[in-house]
Amino acid sequence: MSDIFKIRDKQIKSRLFLGTGKFSDKRLVKLVIDAAKVDVVTVALRRVDLESQDENILDYIPEECTLMPNTSGARTAREAIRIARLAKATGCGNWIKIEVISDNQYLLPDNLETLKAVEVLAAEGFVVLPYISPDISMARRMVKAGAAAIMPLGSPIGSNRGFKTEELVRIMIRQIKVPIIVDAGLAMPSQAAKCMEIGCAAVLVNTAIATAQDPINMALAFSLAVEAGRKAYLSSKRPGIDFAQASSPLTGFLTQE
Partner 1 sequence: MEFRGILKQYNAQDLKNKFNAVSAEKIKTIISKDKLESDDLLVLLSPQAEPYLELMAQKANQLTVQYFGKVIQLYTPLYLSNYCINSCAYCGFKAENSSQRKKLSLSEVKKEAEFISATGLKHILILTGDSRQMSPVSYIQQCVEILKDYFSSIAIETYALSQEEYAQLIRAGIDGVTIYQEVYDRAVYAKVHLNGPKKDYDFRLDAAQRALFAGIRTANVGVLLGLNNWREEVFFMAMHAGYLQEKFLSAEIGVSVPRIKPHLGDFADIIPVSDKNLTQIILALRIFLPRAGINLSTRETAKLRDDLLALGITRISAGSTTAVGGHTLNYEQNQDEQFQISDKRDVAQIKQMLQQKQYQPVLKDWLRW
Partner 2 sequence: MRLKINGKQQEIKDCFDLEKLISSKGLNPNNIVVEYNTKIIPKQNWPEVILKPEDMIEIVSFVGGG
Residue numbers annotated as active site: 97
* Alpha carbons 227 and 206: distance in angstroms, whole number: 17
- For partner 2 (CB under 8 A), the number of binding residues is 35
| Identified binder of partner 1 from the candidate list 140, 161, 164, 231, rule CB under 8 A | 140
* Alpha carbons 100 and 38: distance in angstroms, whole number: 25
**Strand 5-7 relative to strand 10-12, pairing:** antiparallel
Rg (the chain; Cα; Å): 20
Q: Lay out the site mask for partner 1 across 158-177 (x = CB under 8 A, - = otherwise).
A: ------------x---xx--
Hey, which residues between 227 and 246 contact partner 1 (CB under 8 A)? 237-246
**What DSSP letter does each residue of 65-94 carry, written as one string?**
SEEEEB-TT--SHHHHHHHHHHHHHTTS-S
Regarding 34 and contact with partner 2 (CB under 8 A), the answer is no
Minimum distance from CB of 96 to partner 1 (Å)? Answer: 26
Minimum distance from CB of 173 to partner 1 (Å)? Answer: 8
- Cβ atoms of residues 202 and 15 within 8 Å: yes
Return the amino acid letter for 136. Answer: I
**Dihedrals phi, psi of 133, to nearest 5 degrees:** -75, 135
Regarding 50 and contact with partner 2 (CB under 8 A), the answer is yes
Regarding 47 and contact with partner 1 (CB under 8 A), the answer is no
Which is nearer to partner 1, 47 or 238 (by Cβ)? 238
- For partner 1 (CB under 8 A), the number of binding residues is 20
Regarding 89 and contact with partner 1 (CB under 8 A), the answer is no
* Alpha carbons 214 and 229: distance in angstroms, whole number: 22
Regarding 58 and contact with partner 2 (CB under 8 A), the answer is yes
Q: Which residues bind partner 1 (CB under 8 A)?
A: 137, 140, 170, 174-175, 237-246, 249-251, 253-254
